[in-house]
Structure formats: structure tokens, C-alpha cells
Amino acid sequence: MARIEGVYLPKEKRVEYGLTYIYGIGLHSSRQILSKSQIDFDKRVKDLSHEDVARIQKEIIDNYVTEGGLRKEVTLNIKRLQEIGSYRGTRHKRSLPVRGQRTKTNARTRKGPRRSSNIVAGKKIAKK
């Protein structure tokens, strides 16, 4: 089992798709890495030699920001937007959609489950 950037890649998958399990590497980046490392795209992860893994690891470390470093960079960017008081920053603070989506009817993923609208504060329900 190949371990790159602290992530175990799935053994049975092709290398080009296995590399996408690393945070910050998509299919396009994966193909670029493999072509620079001169490794066949059709090879399975379990068939990689230690030299192949080392070449991939070196290419990723030299040219890409991945995993912890990328997560840290993203959170710092969001924090910066919140501190300067930008529109996007305030949307992040309120946990509302940031990229212009409508919120009247959709956005349940971001807003959370619906609160029932028929509850009136302080009103007691009559018992039978």
C-alpha cells in the first residue's frame, strides 16, 4: 500500500485516480504529476515500486501545496475575509452560501435543517 503525504492510496485503483485521494490533487494535477514522473497512468497502485512512489512524492512536495498546508491556507484566507469585513467574510460567519446562490427556498445544506414555523414563542399547547 502506497503512502504519499500521509495518505494511504487505495491498492486496487489506477494510479491517476488513486492520487486524487490526496487533498489538493485532482485528476488534472494527478496526470501532470504522473507524466513528469514518467509513470504509466494505467498502472495500479499496488504495482508501484518504491522508486515510483519516491518520484511521485518528490514531485508533489516540490510543486504542490497539499493536505495540512493547503487546509491551513484555506482557513487563513477565510479568516482574513472575515476580519476585513467583506461580504464573503460575513456570509462565512453566518454560515450562509457564499457564492451568490439563492437562500429563500434552497441552501438547506449550509443552513441546516428547517425549524418548524408554526411554533410561537411562549404559547402553551392545550392538553386534552
Q: Which of 73-77, 106-110, 123-127 has the lowest mean pLDDT?
A: 123-127
Residues near 34 by beta carbon (within 8 Å), at least 6 away in sequence: 15, 16, 19, 40, 41, 56
Query: Which residue would you say has higher pLDDT here, 71 or 127?
Result: 71
Residue 120 confidence (pLDDT) above 70: no
The count of domains in the chain is 2
| CB-based contact 30:64 (threshold 8 Å) | no
* Domain assignment of residue 95, yes or no: yes
Residues 8 and 48 in one domain: yes
* Domain assignment of residue 45, yes or no: yes
Residues 31 and 45 in one domain: yes
Q: Residue 119 has what pLDDT? A: 66
Rounded distance, CA 43 to CA 32, Å?
Answer: 15
Q: Could you report the per-residue pLDDT of 19-45, keeping only the tens digit for each? A: 999 999 999 999 999 999 999 999 999
What is the rounded average pLDDT of the residues 74-99? 95
Task: State pTM to two decimals.
Answer: 0.75
Residues 11 and 52 in one domain: yes
Domain CATH number, residue 103:
4.10.910.10
Residue 59 confidence (pLDDT) above 80: yes
* Domain assignment of residue 117, yes or no: no
DSSP-derived 3-state class of residue 11: coil
Quote the domain boundaries for residue 75.
68-111
Residues 38 and 88 in one domain: no
Residues 20 and 53 in one domain: yes
* Domain assignment of residue 126, yes or no: no
Query: Which residue would you say has higher pLDDT here, 126 or 98?
Result: 98
* Domain assignment of residue 47, yes or no: yes
* Domain assignment of residue 127, yes or no: no
Domain CATH number, residue 54:
1.10.8.50
